Structure 1
């Protein structure tokens, strides 16, 4: 999946979920982003 596709999905989820509870979604959104970044970073280190 391309970064553009990923972003489109994030944006769609963001718009859908931010109607529920913006603060809660903000936290989970950034938590997931941070998790992916960390995972990628660790995978790079392993090589």
Structure 2
């Protein structure tokens, strides 16, 4: 299911650009990241 969605998205140049924009927005910035790669699920040493 996901594989076919990715294949159809990347089949066209506009889809490749959209995937690039989404990746950049989620993981690079320029604003605060909705999905920071370095965020820990642990809030302190006890957990």
TM-score calculated relative to the size of structure 2? 0.44
Structure having the higher Rg = 2
Q: Greater RCO between the two (CA within 8 Å, min separation 6)? A: 1
Q: Which has the higher helix share?
A: 1
